[in-house]
Amino acid sequence: MTPTGLVAGTVPAAAVPHRVSTHPRTYLMCSPEYFTVEYAINPWMNPEDPVDVDLARRQWESLRAAYTALGHTVHTIDPEPGLPDMVFAANGATVISGKVLAARFKYQERHAEGEAYAAWFRRQGYAVADPVTVNEGEGDIVFAGRAIIAGHGFRTEAETRHEVEELFRLPVISVRLVDPRFYHLDTALIVLDEHTAAYYPAAFDEAGQAALAAHFPELIEAKDEDAEALGLNGLSDGRNVVLPVQATQLAERIRAAGFDVVPVDLSEFRKAGGGPKCCTLELR
């Protein structure tokens, strides 16, 4: 479903705006010291497909270097043994206007991650709100400037929207995910700026597609092959879009819309269903 007057994935050359990075960002990351695939809690995970830990470390370092090269600040949280998915910092919390909603994970294997991230934020002096319902941080709670997009269907509970609205005082647009491969919202949607997003329509039900089309004046559709490469699991500062290198067609469409694309290879993290965004929590 596409906003009126736009052809999905294309922007007329004369209409391409000049995109501007809004401000330097601050991110939180967790090194992949203990990263591995020990269990399967999403369709991407296969414990019989081993992770190359050395390669994962190099790929993670290249992602951090990409952020600092763009002028952003990266903080790190110490990884903890026995928490192989702690590297996916985006799931650890949601941070907007200095307020923190801690994560409460669906699966037992990840429960301790929520406690580790909440403890880090408290040590840094943040006021942390403990969650009532299950939410997996920025995996399903996506800041979109004028509103928050909240995904549900596989991990985060739909009722989380009420906690999000109350804490952050922003309208929340609730969308249902329907394809288990795209178990988190950040695998199916990337907000490029306040008015523009890229998404994979088939990951959402019809009501979710309509809600996104109503909110974003510009929507760029990802094709099957880019979505299946987790190409939407990227991060934008309003001008520069850090994107999995495998998502070649999506990169072309985002460039055509006036953004600069910074490709990175996080192929080892895809084995656990993650990418650049999964590895990155924004501290707003």
Q: Which of 72, 152, 184, 215 is catalytic?
A: 184
Would you place residue 1 in the very low, low, confident or very high pLDDT band (cuts 50, 70, 90)? Answer: very low
Whether residue 30 lies in the annotated active site:
no
Cβ 43 vs Cβ 244: under 8 Å: no
Phi-psi region of 163 (alpha: psi -120 to 50; beta: other; left: phi over 0): alpha
Q: Could you tell me the pTM of the whole model?
A: 0.93
Whether residue 75 lies in the annotated active site:
no
Q: What is the CATH number of domain 24-282?
A: 3.75.10.10
For the stretch 219-264, pLDDT in tens is 999 999 999 999 999 999 999 999 999 999 999 999 999 999 999 9
Would you place residue 21 in the very low, low, confident or very high pLDDT band (cuts 50, 70, 90)? Answer: confident
CA distances from 196 to 31, 32, 278 (A): 31, 31, 20
> Does the structure show a pLDDT above 70 at 3?
no
Contacts of 267 (CB under 8 A, 6+ apart): 55, 59, 246
- For residue 172, report the phi and psi dihedrals to the nearest 5 degrees: -115, 130
Domain ranges of the chain: 24-282
Q: Are strands 240-244 and 235-236 parallel, antiparallel or unpaired?
A: antiparallel
> Does the structure show a pLDDT above 70 at 92?
yes
For the stretch 39-65, pLDDT in tens is 999 999 999 999 999 999 999 999 999
CA distance 202 to 182: 10
**What is the average pLDDT across 269-275?**
98
